[in-house]
Amino acid sequence: MLTWKKANADIEANKHDAEARKQLFLSAKPGFCCLERLRKTAGEELKALVNGLQKWSSSKNGTRLSYLSALHAIVCRERRAAPDPNAVTGTGSIVFYSFPQEVVNQIAERTGGRPVTVEVPGLCDGEVEIDSEGRIFLVQPLTQPNGQIVERLIFIAQVTKTGEVFTDRDEKGSPVVLERVRKFPIKAGRSAIRNGR
C-alpha cells in the first residue's frame, strides 16, 4: 500500500522524468481522492455536530447555567487515575460552541470584568424560516451519507407580537429581551438572504 509520504517522496524523486511521474500520479490518485473525500466528510460531520450542539443548547431555557456547569465538569475535568493511552484529551471547546454567552458571562464574573454580548455571526447567503410564533430559524441543508439532502433548522431568535426580540428565557420561562422593535404582523414563511440582507 502506498503511503502519503512515500507517494510524495517518489514524485519528488522523479520530478524530472515525466513518464515516471505520470505513472506515480496515476497510482496515487485513488488514495488522494479517498483522502480528499474523507477530509470533506469530516468537515461536514464536524459542522453538523456543532450545529446540533447549538440547536440542543438553544432549547435549554432557564437552566442554561446548570447545563454549562455539567458540560464543563465533564469535558474539562482532571485526567483520570488510569487514562486510556489511546484517548484524545478534550480541549473544552464544546462549552464555547454550546453556551458561548454564558461562558463569557462566567469569565467576566470571575475576573471582575464587564460582560459583553457574544456577537451572533452575520448571516450570509442562504434561507431563513419564520414560524407563526415569530421564531426565526436558519435553514441549513445537510448531505446525508446516502447522498440525500435534508434541512436542519437552527434557532436564531424570536420576535414577540409586542416587538420584543430574544434568544433565551430565564429560570421562570420569561423571555430575556435583547431588543425591542416596532410591532408588526408576523407572517410565517421563508425568505432568502443575499449579501447579508
Percentage of the chain exceeding pLDDT 90: 2
For residues 140 and 130, give the distance between their C-alpha atoms in angstroms, rounded to a whole number.
14
**Cβ atoms 125, 194 nearer than 8 A:** yes
**Cβ atoms 56, 159 nearer than 8 A:** no
What cell numbers appear for 56 in the block?
440542543
- pLDDT tens digits, residue range 49-88? 888 888 788 777 778 888 888 888 888 766 555 566 666 6
Give the chain's end-to-end CA distance (angstroms, integer).
51
176 has pLDDT over 70: yes
- CA separation, residue 102 to residues 43, 65, 109, 167, 172 (Å): 26, 7, 10, 13, 17
What cell numbers appear for 8 in the block?
510524495
pLDDT at 131: 92
Confidence band for 90, pLDDT divided at 50, 70 and 90 = low
191 has pLDDT over 80: yes
